[in-house]
Structure 1
Amino acid sequence: MARYDAILCDLGDVLFTWSPSANHTLAVNTLRSVLSSSTWFEYEKGHISQQTCYDKIGRELSISPVDIRMAIEESCASLRCDTGLVSFLRELKDSTGGTLRIFAMSNISQPDYDTLRSIGNMDWSIFDGIFTSFAAGARKPDLKFYRYALLQANLEPSRTIFVDDKSENVLSARSQGLHGLVYHESKELKQSLLNLFGDPIQRGQRFLKENAGRLVSMCGGIAIQENFAQLLIMEITNDRSLVPSHIVGNEGKWNFFRGSGQLTTAEFPCDLDTTSLGLTVVRARVNVVAPIMDEMLNYINDDGIIQTYFDHDRPRIDPVVCVNVLHLFYSYDRGKEMSQTLQWVYEVLLHRAYIQGSRYYETAECFLFFLYRFIGECNNPDIHGRFYPLLKERVMERIGAGGDGLALAMRLIVCDFTGVRNDIDLQTLRTFQCEDGGWDNGLIYKYGSSGLSIGNRGLTTAMAIHAIQCRLAGFSLHGL
């Protein structure tokens, strides 16, 4: 059953827009003073007549009641219905099979409401009821008005969404147990409502299917043709159809780029990071992977730490790269050949050296995620005993730390693996889902020399789906 079955929506400045500057009789600030006066509030509550309101405000602000009337009429003439948002609400309502009810709740006087109802392009039939301040004898943010609407519509507050453009009105709604959304723009509201009513997994999977083969990485608006994210997408989703065909069959060394280097040297060497990921994802045959691993051993520095490239002229180290190489070596029972690299990775975890990312990886979560991936697939009990408790401590420290969709998804996956409940980041991740069902580019890696960041919507979406699935199912892809 859906968590919510009702929406209480404001009319003015949400479903209808108007322009105070459309009136040519009063200055905009003067009109705002009229509309924010206590006398106007009494008028909206139905306690005084229109003429009494205009006369009293005229005396209070030293302006002509006739001018007030003209200014209001001119402003009302500028009222426009957001037909796109109304159509969206209609579609949302229809998609629930009639279980969703939509109500309007507006601070408005009887005369102004009559004017509003005369606007021709508004589909008033979307509402199951309309609650006005003049009928209730109260106005938002008065609690009396909310209680009136809830009672009249027989609504359960915890199952009702309240939408208003004024934060104080939303605060009052929340205080009564409703789920409040502060309206800023139509697109944002649509996204929020889809995330509250839609199935995030189905919507995300639809996005991946619709963009299969085109889930490319981006750097500053430039498409980066690379292999790393494609390998991760294939592993996380277990769906080969989402990635280019060459990803599936390669059992040799891997290059980060599919072709020439981009935003770097055109001739770019293969790297141990992508190679390690590729060989573990495609489960390369031992006779194929053994000589590649032998070659990797030639790229250990004087500290005993494995380097990043199959290139002695690029002596770079990165703890995330080290984790992925360790994953490869332990997958083929050769972990003992990486003892000093393993020790350094442990020290990075112990002393939180990863906290601001690394040379090639953007976030702390990248290190924690790939470490989870390594120890989750490692059948060595010593590795589990050494790393698992500390990994659990470190991911607990990250709860609520913010981040983009990819960082949150990685964090949640590690939380699930270590048995840590993380409702805060799950809720935030859900709100990040876009109207098209995908998540925005999450940053995963960066160019070591320039620091330019690379992100991938497909990878972020795949990770987000998996994180939500883990939480719902109570298990992880690589369980203990």
Structure 2
Amino acid sequence: MFAKLFCFRRKLSAKTSPVPRITTPPEKVFVASTASAETGIDSFSIEKTLPQDRTLILDLGDVLFHWSARELTVLSPSTFHAVVLTPTWSELERGRISEDEALKIIGEELSLLPSTIKDALSQCRNTLRVDHELIARLKALKAEMGSRLKVYAMTNIAKDDFARLKAVLPDWSLFDGEFTSFEAGMTKPQLRYYKHVLDNISLVDPTSAVFVDDKVINVNAARSFGIHGIVFESPTSLIRQLHHQFFDPVLRARQFMETNAHNHFSRIENGPEVRDVFSQFLIHQVLQDTSIISLSPADASAAEIKAAITQAESEARTWNYFIGAPVGTTQTFPDDIDDTANALLAFSPPATSANLVLDRMLANRLATDGLMLTYFCEKRPRVCPFVLANVVRLFYHYNRGADVQPELEHVRRILLNRGYLNGTDTYISGEPFLYFLACLIETNPDAPEVQSLRGPTTAALREYVGRRGNSFAAAARVLACQKLGVWAQSDLAYLKELQDCDGGWEVGWVCRYGRSQRKIVNRGVPTAWAIKALEQDATRYRTCGKERVEMLSKS
């Protein structure tokens, strides 16, 4: 039982009671999602289906139950650790000898009195506690899955210690069955113990199962059968990973966007909400779904929200970052070319209207450098290469690339000389710059001056692959890599890990105030961008699979 107690912790397990057999194979039914990487199903062309039948196999000690050696007085923690790691203790957990026999043998092996070891065990057992919150969350997850999730316990434990677990947790309704080493006559990581469990639950497809244990060696043994293994680190991490395993990430994310429609605004980090159009433009550029965004004040009606978006689609104008009064900055705040460029890229109003705005942007150049100023305000003479990358995109979008060659050349110099590495006053990292360039390159295949940026942008992205960072930076990096064909599957996997249990992504650092440098954070933007990244990866996966089938059929 105490074989895993080290650094004041101990891991326990559960008993094998008669186990209900699963007589039918798991159904290959998935949650439908837009281009789900797992299923290849296009989500909104069919009705939602239920999750696939899944099996969860949980270790108990240091997962649901915890013991502590902090209160030990008769033995040191290191000596106690030596006791429970002896082969004799494993024999006790396999049910082959009694505890008194085990303590006698161990006492002789380690020159300890059996009574001393017994006192140490008693002290440690008195600290047994249950993580009721984690159990409640697992029950909620099981309820959400309906009848399609079976949960089993699999643990190394002596008979008497399992009885103590039963006493401290009378309600075992979470489990559909329990497997204990003392009844099986085997302990993890013996492979035949895992085979014993799989046979007894009649699990036809081990890949549909998830095994959770705090010991890597035990998890790796499960993985050898094709079971998905999770090394337990914390309750929060476990619940998040189980949601990743059991539910389609894109469908969950789209549900998050719909549930929070018209409310995907930003906020100052550890501060108030900021109702901004910038986040709405970034969301709409990738999802093209006006039902989830808003360009209107908080008290606007649905009709007013729709009317504002319709106007943005039909009539170009300059834009201000804020909806309503500025927050966290000066009392008055000017319109700027970044929000304006993103608005026109997102909604693409007619050229007859847009050209007037583009002309005004050209007139807003700094006399000395000949580059467009970020703000339509003489008192804020700032130039930002990240903003200019977006502006160049905009002018090429309206077939006016010739008008912004000075800006394009400045962007080129920033790229070649790595002037993007530390972000800018308003953008926190280099990923948005590389994403904006990737968009420019992708959408202008016939512009040689733009395509000349492909090589250095690709090289820059390869340097960025493998960095972690916040959710916005990760999503921008993956999307940019996908656009230019740069391998970034490790970053895509990391991006998936950042999805919260509610379906949305962790807060991303979208930008910051230029003067105070306070971060502006958002969940809707990284969620929208992650949806796009996952959908594009699924499309690529399906395309590759189709091409392989076609090649095989011809051979």
Judge conservation of contact 2:505–2:526 (CA < 8 Å) in 1.
yes
Post-superposition offset of 1:85: 3.2
Pairwise mapping of residues 39-54 of structure 1 onto structure 2 (< 5 A)? 39-54=88-103
Identity of aligned residues (%): 34
Distance apart, 1:196 and its partner CA? 1.3
Tell me, yes or no, if structure 1 residue 294 matches structure 2 residue 359.
yes
Q: What amino acid is aligned across from residue 452 of structure 2 in structure 1?
A: R
Alpha-carbon contact 2:321-2:335 (below 8 Å) kept: yes
Tell me the residue number matched to 2:422: 356
Matched, 1:139 2:187: yes
Matching of residue 365 in structure 1 with residue 413 in structure 2: no
Cα deviation for residue 138 of structure 1 reads 3.7
Q: 2 CA distance for matches of 1:434 and 1:358?
A: 29
The Cα offsets for residues 216-256 of structure 1, whole Å up to 9 and x where unpaired, read as: 21222122232211211123222223222436235321111
Task: Answer yes or no: is 1:283 the counterpart of 2:333.
Answer: no
- TM-aligned CA deviation for residue 460 of structure 1: 0.9
Higher relative contact order, chain-length normalized (CA < 8 Å, sep 6+): 2
Does the residue aligned with 2:453 lie in a helix, a strand or coil?
helix
What is the CA distance between 1:24 and its match in structure 2? 7.6
Distance 1:125 1:9 in 2: 11
1:428 is aligned, of 472, 491, 494, to 494
How big is the shift at 1:97? Answer: 5.5
Q: What does the per-residue CA deviation read over 1:89-129, in whole Å, with 9 as the maximum and x for residues that have no partner?
A: 4454455564544332211112222332344533256234x
Whether the aligned pair in 2 keeps the contact of 1:86 and 1:123 (CA below 8 Å) is no
Match of 1:444 in 2: 510
One-letter amino acid of the structure 2 residue matched with residue 228 of structure 1 = F
Distance of aligned partners of 1:162 and 1:456 in 2 relative to their CA distance in 1, 3 Å threshold:
same
Q: Which position in structure 2 is the counterpart of 1:256?
A: 321
Aligned to 1:273: 338
Which 5+ residue runs of structure 1 have no aligned equivalent?
476-480
Alignment of 1:163-312 (within 5 A): 163-174=212-223, 177-222=226-271, 223-246=273-296, 248=309, 249-250=311-312, 251-301=316-366, 302-312=368-378
SS of the aligned residue for 2:452 comes to helix
Q: 37-46 or 23-32, which moves further after superposition?
A: 23-32
Matched letter for residue 289 of structure 2: D
In structure 2, how many angstroms separate the alpha carbons of the residues matched to 1:225 and 1:92?
A: 34
Whether the aligned pair in 2 keeps the contact of 1:81 and 1:121 (CA below 8 Å) is no
Deviates most, 461-470 or 277-286:
277-286
Shift of 1:159: 4.0
For 1:360-386, what per-residue CA distance to the aligned partner results, in whole angstroms no more than 9, with x for missing partners?
Answer: 212222012122333444475335533
Corresponding residue for 1:471? 537
Contact 2:336 2:375 in 1 (8 A): yes
Cα distance in 1 between the residues matched to 2:445 and 2:77: 71
Deviation at 1:212, TM superposition (A): 2.0
Q: Pairwise mapping of residues 453-472 of structure 1 onto structure 2 (< 5 A)?
A: 453-472=519-538
Q: What letter corresponds to residue 39 of structure 1 in structure 2?
A: T
Report deviation, 1:468: 0.6
Task: State the alpha-carbon separation in 1 of the partners of residues 173 and 78 from structure 2.
Answer: 32
| Contact residue 107 and residue 114 of structure 2 kept, 8 A | yes
Q: Using structure 1 for the length normalisation, give the TM-score.
A: 0.87
Report the counterpart of residue 478 of structure 1 in structure 2: none
On the 8 A contact 2:280/2:295 being kept in 1, the answer is no
CA contact (8 A) 2:186 2:193 kept: yes
Query: Which residue identity does 1:85 align to in structure 2?
Result: L
Check conservation: 1:363, 1:444, Cα contact below 8 A: no
Q: Aligned partners of 2:173 and 2:163: how far apart in 1?
A: 13
Is structure 2 residue 453 aligned with structure 1 residue 387? yes
In structure 2, distance between residues paired with 1:201 and 1:233 = 15
How many residues are matched?
474
Q: Is the 8 A contact 1:299 1:312 kept in 2?
A: no
Could you tell me whether the CA contact under 8 Å between 2:57 and 2:154 is conserved in 1?
Answer: yes
